[in-house]
Amino acid sequence: MRTVLLASTALIMSSVSAHAAQAQAQGQPAAGPEASATADSGIGEIIVTAQRREESLQKAGLAIDAVKGSDLLERGIANAGEMTKAVPSLSIPLPGGNVASIFIRGVGNITTSSYNDPAVTPSYDGVVLGRGGGLLGAAFYDLSRVEVLKGPQGILYGRNATGGAVNIIPARPEIGKNSMGFNVAFGNYDAVDADAHVNLGVSENSALRLGAAYSTRDGYNRDGTDDVKRGSLRAQFLVEPSSDLSIRVGADYTHLGGRGAGGTYIGGFIPGASGYTFVPSGLDASEGFNTPNANAFRQQNLGAPAFGFLSAMNRDQSQDSTYWGVNAEFNWKTSLGKVTVIPAYRESVDHSFFYGPAFNIANTNEKAKQASLEARLAGSAGMFDYVLGAFYYNEKINALNQYNQEFVLPLQAYKQKTESYAAFGQLTAHVTDSFRLIGGARYTHDKKSIDGLINNFITFCGGLPPALLTPPASFGAGCAVPGNMPHFPNFLTTGDTINWLVSNGWIAANSTDQPGYQVFPLNNGVGAILKTYNPVVDTQGYSRVTWKASAEYDVTPDNLLYATVETGYRAGGLQMTESKTTYKPEFITAYTIGSKNRFFNNRVQLNLEGFIWKYRDQQITYFTVDTSGTLISSNENAGKATIKGFDVDLVVKPMATTTLSAKVQYLDSKYDDLHLFTAAPRDNFGCPFTLTGAVAGGAPVKDFNCSGNPLLFSPKWTVNLGAEQVVPLSDALELVANVDTAWRDSQWGAFEYLDFERIPAYWTTDASLTLRKPGGAWSLTGYVRNIENKRRNLAPQASPLGVAVGHFSAPRTYGLRLSGNF
């Protein structure tokens, strides 16, 4: 890998040198800071607002990647999950759905629970999203740019952004301009992707921008999953009553349908006296969970604690999610500075059935409402620039969910509320014309409350475990005989579940639902069913001051040095589990040094960054057991971790028609202290263990010491290489060829650290060929993505049902896209 990197860099630099020598030989000045680029333009600028002001990406003294909307289209980046093609530090293993799992340099969390906050904060149009999954998968049309801030954002973004922030910024209305544009693409798997926008200059001081997008595609898997069925609308109105005041109001709506994300069985684990034996499923990456072959494999596996064979999936997966929101931005220039106020309201509704980690089947019914308000004052006084602000956030979630594990049926009903407010400030001192000192602080207070109830129906073979029954009951014969143990259907209430058990003759005819724990012996004498009753009612508060200190030095107008120390905090929380209802906040301190440079008259851009992050009490999610022996997906706090490495970002434009790029990240991440706790039948971890002396459901609790392992989704080497060549055909036509390839080193995808959870290293290559009119009036593009046609298991999971599952990247796709702008 190092040889490939050095060779690529040498090739790019030699191309630049050759171009400079050729210019001198022809009597032209060599490219340099003093040369003009008007006739032969160099690398363009990207304007970002990551520091709450408009500035060139090259002038922003912070770790940030930004991609323009037009570049997203050209590279086929249609959702946040594909942003890793442009940002090496970013990983989104499970895009879409109501909850997003986002990682930057190993900082993030894997979760499907709406009460868990993301460690990398998603934002849309300046509004922080508490639940960003659905919008992250749907908002990628008619964009100005996407900004990815790497590392804790403890001041200007603040809320929970320990790993960073992903900001999706739509194109804004333009006053005095009437224009429209469209993109329509057709590809294999019956893919259709279409979007359009129109900008109307309503009056001399106002404008309206409308956008819409629609995508549909057959599933990549044989059971129809990994498909797309999505529609979105967006509207913005901008008015500028005077030169000092602007008001922009926006609204958006998205619906997600179809089957949704799927996966495939990789194999099963058979428990034995010396551990677990892995047996491969023999299924390929495109099988899916609900096909005859997949169900045949599924039915070969025993499910605990009933120790009966699993059954086929009882229904198809389906997705039905709606996201909408309204927001505004008021900007008022005063004698003290610019006042910005951003009020917003967002709502999401999710009614979906999904296979989960090999469940049969899960059903989510959730509604989340979010209101937020941010106010800022940005101005200058003498040698100082300042930003002062306040932030308020209120979120309410109502949920009624079930997670059918055949012999265990957890039913969850809860209401959760989060209320957060913060005050922040940042001060920049211009010590000299070229040297600046920056300091800032933010006080954040979070209050969380939950009011819910967990009812678990648990089928035991032979009776209840020793912790719940005296004398202990042994597992009786006949558990695995087909028809001897009930397989739970998909109910959302305890009453419906008990009525089904009664009507099918499993339990006594006079059985009814009563508050508290209940035991129902099976009528056939083989086992018993325990119904648990666990109210979860709690309120917790968390407060923290985070801070930042940095220095910037302009070596030349085109060369910047910076150094930063910044802290981050993510509030603790509450969760719907029986014995571990709370988890603590997490903290991070990041040390960064960097340099941003332009050379040879904007023909070479070289950005360098080195970093060390110290991570404490990371919130992680993994399957464990509670004190009764019930399997749970629990948020826990890891001990300590150290993340260090460097980034190299090189862009070279040796000629006006040629652009070459290379982005490289080296990452060395390690858990200095990571202990995971569980008991049988969920004790299959790839780390050494000791017994704790505790007992859960009659089984001893094991302490798995996973210290020394890397953090999840933190490949040691990540390399993105790109090339673009423009070939003029005439004054009215040109041909554009693009090739982009990305290397990801091996990485871990789950906390059990089992062999199948290590994602092998891989290359992925995309290419396109575009015929267009110079200036962008129209273009016709043929594209192919994932030329290697390899589906990579980017989200492995060790299912609580004792099987290994994988969620795979897209296969090779190709198609044609027609674009126009008028």
pLDDT at residue number 133: 61
Is the per-residue pLDDT at 715 higher than 70? yes
Q: Count CB atoms within 10 A of the CB of residue 563.
A: 15
Lowest mean pLDDT among 217-226, 421-430, 580-589: 580-589
219 and 152, same domain (yes or no): no
Domain shared by 190 and 73, yes or no: no
Q: Does residue 519 lie in a domain region?
A: no
Q: Which residues, at least 6 apart from 725, have a Cβ–Cβ distance to it below 8 Å?
A: 657, 658, 736, 737
For the chain, the distance separating the N- and C-terminal CA atoms, rounded to the nearest angstrom, is 45
pTM of the model: 0.89
Q: How many CB atoms lie within 10 A of CB 191?
A: 17
Residue 273: what residue type?
A
For residue 669, give the CATH number of its domain.
Answer: 2.40.170.20
Q: What are the tens digits of pLDDT across the range 736-758?
A: 999 999 999 999 999 999 999 99
Share of the chain above pLDDT 90, in %: 68
Helix (H) / strand (E) containing 497: helix 494-503
14 vs 136, higher pLDDT: 136
Residue 42 lies in a domain: no
What pLDDT does 366 receive? 93
Q: Which pLDDT belongs to residue 132?
A: 63
Tokens of 629: 């022996």
For residue 711, pLDDT over 50 is answered with yes
453 bridge partner residues: 413, 535
Residue 741 resides in a domain: yes
Distance of CA 645 to the CA centre of its chain: 22
pLDDT confidence of 510, banded at 50, 70, 90?
Answer: very high
Answer whether 681's CB lies under 8 Å from 271's CB: yes
Select, from the ranges 39-53, 211-225, 355-369, 611-625, the one with the highest average predicted confidence (pLDDT). Answer: 211-225
Q: Which of 170, 193, 222 marks a domain boundary? A: 170
- Residues 624 and 724 occupy one common structural domain: yes
Is 323 part of a structural domain of the chain? yes
Mean pLDDT of 80-95: 81
Q: What is the CA radius of gyration of the chain?
A: 28
Final residue in a domain of this structure, among 170, 205, 224: 170
Q: What is the mean pLDDT of residues 584-609?
A: 96
Q: Answer yes or no: do 139 and 100 share one domain.
A: yes
- Cβ atoms within 10 Å, residue 121: 25
Q: Which residue has the higher pLDDT, 94 or 642?
A: 642
Residue 45 lies inside a defined structural domain of this protein: no
| Token representation of residue 687 | 């780390």
- The distance of Cα 390 from the centroid of its chain, to the nearest Å, equals 26
289, pLDDT greater than 70: yes
* CB 326 within 8 Å of CB 124: no
- At 652 the pLDDT is 97
Alpha-carbon distance of 573 to 579, in angstroms, equals 14
Rounded Cα gap, residues 360 and 348, in angstroms:
25
Is pLDDT above 70 for 467?
no
The pLDDT value given to residue 20: 39
Mean pLDDT across 241-270: 94
Higher per-residue pLDDT: 695 or 126? 126
Q: Which helix H or strand E contains 296, and what residues bound it?
A: helix 292-298
Domain count for the chain:
2
The answer to whether 805 and 266 are in contact (CB under 8 A) is yes
How high is the pLDDT of residue 424? 96
Residue type for position 31:
A
* C-alpha distances out from residue 323 to 7, 253, 319, 347, 415, Å: 47, 6, 13, 6, 19
pLDDT at 21 over 60: no
Do 146 and 218 share a structural domain? no
* Residue 789 Cα distances to 201, 809, 813, angstroms: 46, 10, 8
Q: What's the pLDDT score for residue 569?
A: 93
229, 295: one domain:
yes
Q: Output the pLDDT for position 679.
A: 85
Query: Quick check: 581 and 565 in contact, CB under 8 A?
Result: no
**Residue 23: pLDDT band with limits 50, 70, 90:** very low
Scored b (16 or more CB within 10 A) or e, 689-707 reads: beeeeebbbbbebbbbbbb
| pLDDT at res. 182 | 96
In angstroms, the Cα distances linking 710 to 55, 674, 720 are: 36, 10, 22
Higher pLDDT, 636 or 698: 636
Q: Please say if the pLDDT value at position 122 is more than 90.
A: no
Residue 25 has pLDDT above 80, yes or no: no
Task: Please tell me whether residues 124 and 198 are part of one structural domain.
Answer: no
392 HSE (CA, 13 A, CB side): 8
pLDDT band per the 50, 70, 90 thresholds, residue 55: confident
> What mean pLDDT is predicted for residues 251-278?
91
In a shared domain, residues 304 and 441: yes
Cis amide leading into 681 (omega within 30): yes
461 lies in some domain: no
Report whether pLDDT(1) > 80. no
Three-state secondary structure readout of 351-366: EEEECCCCCCCEEEEE
How much is the pLDDT for 476? 55
Integer Cα distance of 444 and 583 in angstroms? 18
Q: Tokens for 124, please give them.
A: 């849309």
DSSP 523: T
Higher pLDDT, 239 or 797: 239
pLDDT the model gives residue 177: 95
When pLDDT is averaged across residues 460-468 and rounded to a whole number, the result is 69
DSSP annotation of 711: P
Is the predicted pLDDT of residue 33 greater than 50, yes or no? no
Domain end residue (candidates: 170, 196, 224) = 170
**SS3 state at 126:** coil
Mean pLDDT along residues 233-253? 97
Position 420 scores a pLDDT of 95
Residues 370 and 419 in one domain: yes
Q: How far apart are CA 165 and CA 83, in angstroms?
A: 13
Q: Residue 757: its pLDDT value, please?
A: 96
pLDDT score of 94? 66
For the residues 211-224, what does the mean pLDDT come to?
97
Q: Average pLDDT of 702-712?
A: 95
Domain that holds residue 284: 179-455+534-821
> What does the pLDDT look like over 344-356, one tens digit per residue?
999 999 999 998 8
Whether 113 and 241 share a structural domain: no
Which pairing describes strands 813-821 and 778-785: parallel, antiparallel, or unpaired?
antiparallel
> Residue 66 is part of a domain; what is its CATH number?
2.170.130.10
User: For residue 558, is it within any domain?
Assistant: yes
The pLDDT of residue 464 is above 80: no
| Mean pLDDT across the chain | 88
* Residue 241, domain member (yes or no): yes
Half-sphere exposure of 246 (CA within 13 A, CB side): 17
Q: Predicted confidence band at 35 (pLDDT cuts at 50, 70, 90)?
A: very low
User: Of 787, 745, 755, 756, which is closest to residue 84 (Cα–Cα)?
Assistant: 745
> Could you tell me if 148 and 188 lie in one domain?
no
> What does the pLDDT read at residue 581?
87
567 and 690 housed in the same domain: yes
